[in-house]
Amino acid sequence: MKLYTYFRSSAAFRIRIALNLKGLAYEPAFVHLAKGEHRAPAYGTVNPQALLPTLDDGGELLTQSLAIIEYLDETRPAVPLLPKDALGRARVRSLSMLIACEIHPVNNLRVLQHLKRVLGQNEEQVNAWYRHWIADGLAKFEADLGKAKAPGKFCHGDAPTLADCCLVPQIFNAQRYQCDTAAYPATMRVFAECMKLDAFDRAQPSRQPDAE
Amino acid sequence: MKLYTYFRSSAAFRIRIALNLKGLAYEPAFVHLAKGEHRAPAYGTVNPQALLPTLDDGGELLTQSLAIIEYLDETRPAVPLLPKDALGRARVRSLSMLIACEIHPVNNLRVLQHLKRVLGQNEEQVNAWYRHWIADGLAKFEADLGKAKAPGKFCHGDAPTLADCCLVPQIFNAQRYQCDTAAYPATMRVFAECMKLDAFDRAQPSRQPDAE
C-alpha cells in the first residue's frame, strides 16, 4: 500500500495511526501541503478532490480519511477499529465525526489561508480563530465522553478505535496552537493513554521522514 | 423513532431523506437552531454535542448525521444506502464526507455568526465567504463524480445512497445563497434525479411543519 501523506496533515495522521494499529506496512508518498503540491495536476489524477490523504491499495485509490479507515477495517478486520455492535459503532463514528466534521474543517489550512489573504486577518487573529473552534469542539467532545455508559481507557472501551485515530491528531493541533486543554480532563486522559502506544507515537508529525 | 430536527438544518435534512427512502416513520421534535434552542440545557441532556440532528430510537440517542445513517443502514437494511462491496462503500463515504467534512462545516450557522459578530463581516462579505466554499467544494465534487468507473443516475450507481442524502441538502444551500451551479453539470444532473423522488422532495425545508 502507498499512502499519500504530509507530516502535518491531521487527516493523513489518522491513517498512519490506523495502519500502525493494524500492523499494515505502507510506502509513503510525500505531498507538501504548505507548498500547494496537492493542487498540482499530477496529484489531481490520484485524488480528484485534491486533498490528503489518498491510500493506494493495489491500484485502487481511496480518499477521505474516515472512509479509508472504514475500508481498512472491512478489508483487514484483524485489530478492529470499530465495535461489533451497531450502537457502539454509531457512538464511535459520532465521536469521530465531531472532530472530522465540526472541529478540523474550520481550522483547515485553506481556511486559515483564506482568513489571512482574503479577510486580511493578522496572525494573532488567525490564532484566536483557531483556538476558538478548538475550545468549542473539545468542550462538546468532553461533554460527550462524560455521557459514556461504560467509560474505558480509550474513547470507547478499552481498545483504540476510529475515534482515537481522530482525537490524537486534533490534540496535537491544539497543543501546537497552545490551546488550554485543562478543561477537558477526560479527553486528555484518553489522549495520554493513546500516546503510550507505539502505533500512535510513531505516527506523529515529528517522527515522519518529511518532517521539517 | 423521534427525530430532533430543524427545517433548515442540512444535517437533519440528510436524515429526513434517509428515513423517507427507507420508509421509516418518525415523530419530529423541533429545535429552533436560529434561536439557539440547541444550546439549551434541556437539549444538552439529549445531545451532549449540542448539535442537530439527534435520532431517538427507542430511547437510544444517536448523534451526527452520517453516523445515524450508517446506524439506520445496519439496523434497517432494507433499501440499503451503502453499496455491498467495500470499494463502493468507500467511494460513497468519500463523496459524502467531501460534503460533510469539507463544504458544510465551513458554512455552518455558528461559523457565519462568528464571522459577523467577532470578525465584523457584513452580510455581503458573509455571502461571499459562503459562495467561495460552495464553489471550492462543488468543483471537487464534480471532479470526483467525473472519475466514476461506472457512472449512474445517482452519485454512485442507479439507486440513491448516503452520498445523495448529503448532496441534495448541500445544493439546496447553494441555491439559497444564489451560487452559480452551471460549472457542475454532472452534480446537478444527480440532484435533478434525486428531486424526482418523493423521499427527497418531502424532506426539503419548505415542506417541514416548522418551516418559516
Does the pLDDT at position A195 exceed 90?
A: yes
**Phi and psi torsions of B41, nearest 5°:** -55, -35
Share of chain B above pLDDT 90, in %: 97
Answer for the pair B143, A49: CB distance below 8 angstroms, yes or no: yes
Q: What is the reported pTM?
A: 0.97
Give the one of A90, A108, A121 whose C-beta lies nearest to B67's C-beta. A90
Please, what are the domains in chain B? Answer: 2-79+201-207 (3.40.30.10), 86-200 (1.20.1050.10)
Rounded to the nearest 5°, which phi and psi values hold at B7? -55, -35
Task: Using the predicted structure, report yes or no on whether residue A150 has a pLDDT greater than 80.
Answer: no
Nearest CA-CA distance, residue B44 and chain A, Å: 9
Examine the pLDDT at A205 and tell me if it is beyond 90.
yes
CB contact under 8 A, B144 and A49: yes
Q: What is the mean pLDDT of residues A19-29?
A: 98
Instruction: Write down the pLDDT at residue B47.
Output: 95
Q: Over 90: is that where the pLDDT of B197 sits?
A: yes
Looking at the partner chain, which of A89, A90, A106 has a beta carbon nearest the beta carbon of B105?
Answer: A106
pLDDT at residue A116 tops 80: yes
Identify the band that residue B149 occupies on the pLDDT scale cut at 50, 70 and 90: confident
Yes or no: say if B192 and B150 are a contact pair by the CB < 8 Å rule: no
Q: What is the DSSP string of B111-155?
A: HHHHHHHTS---HHHHHHHHHHHHHHHHHHHHHHHTT-SS--SSS
Place of cell 439557539: B36
| ipTM (interface predicted TM) | 0.97
Query: Looking at residues A37-59, what average pLDDT do you find?
Result: 95
CA distance B139 to B99: 11
Residue B150 — pLDDT band, cuts 50, 70, 90?
Answer: confident
Q: Average pLDDT in the B29-48 region?
A: 94
